[in-house]
Amino acid sequence: MTNLNLYGELARRNIEMTDRERLAVDAASGGAMTARQRMELLFDEGTFQEIDRFVTHRCTDFGMGKKQVPGDAVISGSGMINGRLVHAYAQDFKVMGGSFSEENTKKICKVLDKAMQLGTPFIGLNDSGGSRIQEGVYGLAGVAELFLKNTLASGLIPQISAIMGHCAGGASYSPALTDFIVMVEGQSHMFVTGPEVIRAVTHEEVSMEELGGASTHHQLSGVSHLLAADDKECIVLIRELLDYIPSNNLEESPSRKCFDDPRRREPLLNNFIPADSRTSYDVKALVRAVVDDGSFFEVQSGYAANLVIGFARLNGKSVGIVANQPAHLAGALDTNASRKGARFVRFCDAFNIPLVTLVDVPGFLPGKEQELDGIIRDGAKLLYAYCEATVPKISLITRKAYGGAYCVMSSKHIRGDYNFAYPGAEIAVMGPEAAVNIIYRRELAKQQDDTLRLQKLEEYRQRFANPYVAASRGYIDEIIMPEDTRWKLIMALSRLKTKMIKNPPKKHGNMPL
């Protein structure tokens, strides 16, 4: 049979098998879902429209001429997700390990081009052994073109990558260039060089799970934003995430009807923040108490837990939440938290999602390790992201706001639009203990007892451990009762609906990367 005939025969068989039959066959084989099942589940029922189903590769080396499969290991097209048009592709590991060929990357680039032209989100369901080895540089060329398109699409349309199997080699840079990565526990792996190459080069023994498993990337490297138990949950998470974000950078996120009273008061919040500033609490409980229906879609929950980020709704409108977490490292900002926050703030800013920042921060995390890790550079990332953001920015100081971290966390000085504080907020250069030890070092050294130190501590607390000094200068717009938080945030958001500020025109800034 000639290649052409083989192509026709396989194509016919492929088309003749209905999706329903295919799903039944695949489901019966057990394990992870097939690429087609994943696409069917991703889109609203019956809306998936496939393109380029007959594309095949053009490689004839290494006997590849006989390995022609219509579609060439990638299913691509568009469909609706919650009624909105979305473009997507899914790699089929069962065909040549889902590897990227010159031709199938053209298919992916074609749908990405369409997504950019039409202003729709773009989703990649990855399950691949990387660049197709038999194709040599042709395969590399294809993947490199995809990198370029991912980069050009960044900030224009939201891009989400699911790693549902392997994502090996340089190909992992395509997901890394997208906005969010979802991984499936016990099933997905992502690495630039695999365990065998590592063994050969560095003689290090490392398992695939340890190197690039979902937990590794969710908790240690921070590469993965969301963790799913299985394929189904992975797709549900993508659909849920999309609901908080707009289709492109010119649109607003979809609004949802709000059944939660915008004026709902939460009297329990009046006693929620512990009076002793050294006692921790879970800021996520505060977030849930305030947002619509207690529903908070957290992102990167396993990484840098001292900063909580995620999406929620206030009166039906999507907001990005950034909150120091006193329950972890006392909420101090370290290198990981700074990078995590910076990327999230930039995403929200690129896609018109207002930022609500909950501040309870003792400062940047002190220590040699942090300094050598580059807390100066990474802290500057978060600062830069907040400074350049032009979306509505609302902050609420719930307790501590000390030093540089006060400035960074959406303060008035870096264009915060509404800056609220609870009556117990403490806004100062540093905590009372540290401040008194520095200012009165000489006097305290001469003392036999603690009387002077305690007196100076009280003086400092009286002066700065409250929000009134900042409020007297207008750095805090309003001191609010905790029970009113929800309504105050909603009112501020509604006033900022028409906010329109622009940064000076330039090619691009030079973020401290």
Q: Can you give the binding site for ligand HXC, defined by CB under 6 A?
A: 96-97, 99, 129-133, 140, 143-144, 166, 168-171, 194
Nearer to ligand HXC, 96 or 323 (CB): 96
Name the catalytic one among 330, 405, 435, 492.
405
Task: Kindly state the smallest distance separating residue 138's Cβ from ligand HXC, in Å.
Answer: 12
Do 61 and 97 touch, CB atoms closer than 8 A?
Answer: no
Whether 404 sits among the annotated catalytic residues: the reply is yes
Nearer to ligand HXC, 140 or 182 (CB): 140
Nearer to ligand HXC, 77 or 194 (CB): 194
Task: Kindly state the smallest distance separating residue 333's Cβ from ligand HXC, in Å.
Answer: 34
Q: Which residues of 228-257 are buried (b: 16+ CB within 10 A; e: fewer)?
A: beebeebbebbbebbbbbbbbeeeebbebe
| Integer CA distances (angstroms), 161 to 235, 302, 316, in order | 11, 18, 26
Nearer to ligand HXC, 92 or 484 (CB): 92
Alpha-carbon distance of 23 to 17, in angstroms, equals: 10
Task: Kindly state the smallest distance separating residue 196's Cβ from ligand HXC, in Å.
Answer: 7
Whether 470 sits among the annotated catalytic residues: the reply is no
Nearer to ligand HXC, 59 or 428 (CB): 59
Do 394 and 489 touch, CB atoms closer than 8 A?
Answer: yes
Task: Kindly state the smallest distance separating residue 270's Cβ from ligand HXC, in Å.
Answer: 55
Whether 79 sits among the annotated catalytic residues: the reply is no
For ligand HXC, which residue has the nearest CB? 129
Task: Kindly state the smallest distance separating residue 2's Cβ from ligand HXC, in Å.
Answer: 22
Q: Both tokens of residue 67?
A: 């390995």
Whether 170 sits among the annotated catalytic residues: the reply is yes
Nearer to ligand HXC, 166 or 488 (CB): 166
Task: Kindly state the smallest distance separating residue 72's Cβ from ligand HXC, in Å.
Answer: 12
Alpha-carbon distance of 109 to 316, in angstroms, equals: 35
Number of CB atoms found within 10 A of residue 358's CB: 27
Name the catalytic one among 119, 316, 404, 471.
404
Q: Judging by beta carbons within 10 Å of its beta carbon (0-12, 13-18, 19+), is residue 278 exposed, middle or buried?
A: exposed
- Return the DSSP state at 131: B
Name the catalytic one among 119, 170, 302, 374.
170
Alpha-carbon distance of 251 to 238, in angstroms, equals: 19
Name the catalytic one among 169, 331, 363, 431.
169
- Return the DSSP state at 221: I
The 3-state DSSP class for residue 296 equals strand
Active site residues: 169-170, 404-405
